[in-house]
Amino acid sequence: VTLMDANYVMDETLGTSTFPISSLKLGEKKEVQLTFNDVTEMTLEFSLEVCSSTDLRFSMALCDEEKKFRHQRKDNIMHSMKSFLGEEKSKNLTTSRDVPVIAILGSGGGFRAMVGFAGVMKALYESGILDCATYIAGLSGSTWYMSTLYSHPDFPEKGPKEINQELMNSVSHNPLLLLTPQKVKRYIEALWNKKSSGQPVTFTDIFGMLIGETLIHNRMDTTLSNMKEKINNAQCALPLFTCLHVKPDVSELMFADWVEFSPYEIGMAKYGTFMSPDLFGSKFFMGTVVKKYSENPLHFLMGVWGSAFSILFNRVLGVSNSQNNCPTMEEELENIRLKHLVSNDSSDSEDESQHPKGAENAEVHQEYQNSSQESWVQRMLMALVGDSALFNTREGRAGKVHNFMLGLNLNSCYPLSPLADLLTQESVEEDELDAAVADPDEFERIYEPLDVKSKKIHIVDSGLTFNLPYPLILRPQRGVDLIISFDFSARPSDSSPPFKEILLAEKWAKMNKLPFPKIDPNVFDREGMKECYVFKPKDTSSEKDCPTIIHFVLANINFRKYKAPGIPRETQEEKDFADFDIFDDPDTPFSTFNFQYPNEAFKRLHDLMEFNTLNNIDVIKQAMVESIEYRKENPSRCSVSLSSVEARRFFNKNNLN
């Protein structure tokens, strides 16, 4: 037991005393007097009880709420899909069992991804495609748009058209305007309360506040759980968000556990551990909450989901000390993938042990007060965290929460695919993987387990491993038939092949023995740059349960000539508006690190992706028809028998290491 003296600059450690829990008998209550530093005495009451239930759900199955949602959603989709496809194309859609499961995916890419996804969602909403989707999954920048949309009080009655107008106004201002003394003071007060309660605070918390103030400034108290009202009658697609759990001293490309977030649950499918959203961040031991905190606000999660930008925040704000001879921000973000993000910083120790003791506080504080390198913002925030790691190390800007798997006995990891042992090894031959992605170290350590002895875990932007949220959608229990993905990832130029991220997703899927269509990068040589590419199983009889993927990329092709599908641009003003490059523009208006979008840049990117989506509606319709036919011929596609498979009891309370 550690006794602390609360202090504004940093808490002071007064002393530590030890009490052996083994001396307690089951059901006994006992008052114990503890002495600290021979001068302070304190009396505490201890009791020992057996906990018969856990707050974590141990299962590979979807939660009951999601199962109920899927059942309701199928009925809703059946009517929407018939209307969208027309009578002739939907003739095989006779019962809800014939309804294919469709997922919409949005990649990372900062505000570029957010603005592009805004245009996509407007097209999907107004065309009726969104009413045919069961899931919408986002990563990093796309999650920011999903958060804005699903937290909006008027959605879905008010569509993306009106909400996107509000978004355009929100992102037209410089984010530095949010760093006023008054607002920073408010940030610090909120984070100080969080830190004082015993929760870790990093720069991701502050970044989340900035993102929240920019995008959802009038609903900063909303939470992920609040989104349930948008899906309680299956009236909207179920939103799925993601981040990574990463290990100290290991590159994100080599090891990362995907964490999934929905309004129903947060957890890791790799371990079959899930909890309700209000418990994420609370203190757990052996699957049970030992200290519950208030549910994290949505803006904190937005900061976590897009934390690659908090990791490089000095670059985002343009305050890096070395402006010359440094890599571009796009290159620096790419370099993070190749290095370990967090070091072994005693993150498994208690909060209080990380602070200097006694008189050292004043010296530490004075050192940073005297530093001429820090702005007033940094000095104010330094008081919150007590050291310069918040600004000067990437680790200080990675998200951190209490480890909800602390104390569990992790004998093995449950395969993401329950059929893993039944699949032939041919699907993951080395030459096939090497052909997909050249780096042999990628995903090398993905089979390793989480450290159940660490008291805290680091959580970071999923885009640091690959930039598309396929792991959420590829869970066999979700039985997705058709994936419509939108990739807003940065490329060296507008003419560069657009398959880097989906090839990484393919490799990850193959290594986890999950069905995934063959991604042939040579299609770029044969067909050139297109607005979208279709990848589907070559032989559905041998590639069972393999989804079809419609992969949209960020490309300005037909939009230059047409203001709407089939309607040519006529005036010079219309032509000038559409005559722009995305990655080749020397002014880089669409840089991943651009956090301010003037109205014209917003409209260009938004309208481009809206056009590209609408311009390929026939492609989407055809894929839907084929999915209906496949679903009718293979009614067990949804893995019905597997959806209720419980995770093997590799979490054993009675056999701790």
Distances (CA, A) of 201 to 5, 204, 248, 532: 19, 8, 18, 41
Give the tokens for residue 84. 């969208």
Q: Give yes or no: 140 in active site.
A: yes
The Cβ of residue 63 has, within 10 Å, a number of other Cβ atoms equal to 16
Asked if residues 258 and 270 have their Cβ atoms less than 8 Å apart, the reply is yes
- HEC string for 223-273: ECHHHHHHHCCCCCCEEEEEEEEECCCCECCCCCEEEEECCCCEEECCCCE
Q: Give yes or no: 481 in active site.
A: no
Rounded-to-integer distance, Cα 521 and Cα 526, Å? 9
* Helix, strand, or coil (residue 590): coil
Rounded-to-integer distance, Cα 171 and Cα 191, Å? 24
* Helix, strand, or coil (residue 307): coil
Rounded-to-integer distance, Cα 204 and Cα 225, Å? 20
Cα dihedral across residues 154, 158, 163, 166: positive or negative: negative
In 3D space, the residue among 608, 593, 582 whose CA is nearest the CA of residue 492 turns out to be 582
Strand ranges (E), 477-613: 482-487, 532-535, 548-553, 562-564, 567-568
Rounded-to-integer distance, Cα 40 and Cα 281, Å? 32
User: 107, 140, 151, 310: which is the annotated catalytic residue?
Assistant: 140
Asked if residues 348 and 342 have their Cβ atoms less than 8 Å apart, the reply is no
User: 257, 461, 545, 607: which is the annotated catalytic residue?
Assistant: 461
What angle do the packed helices 203-215 and 141-150 form, to 10 degrees? 50
* Helix, strand, or coil (residue 482): strand
Strand ranges (E), 559-617: 562-564, 567-568
DSSP 8-state code for residue 94: -
Among all residues, which ones are annotated catalytic?
140, 461
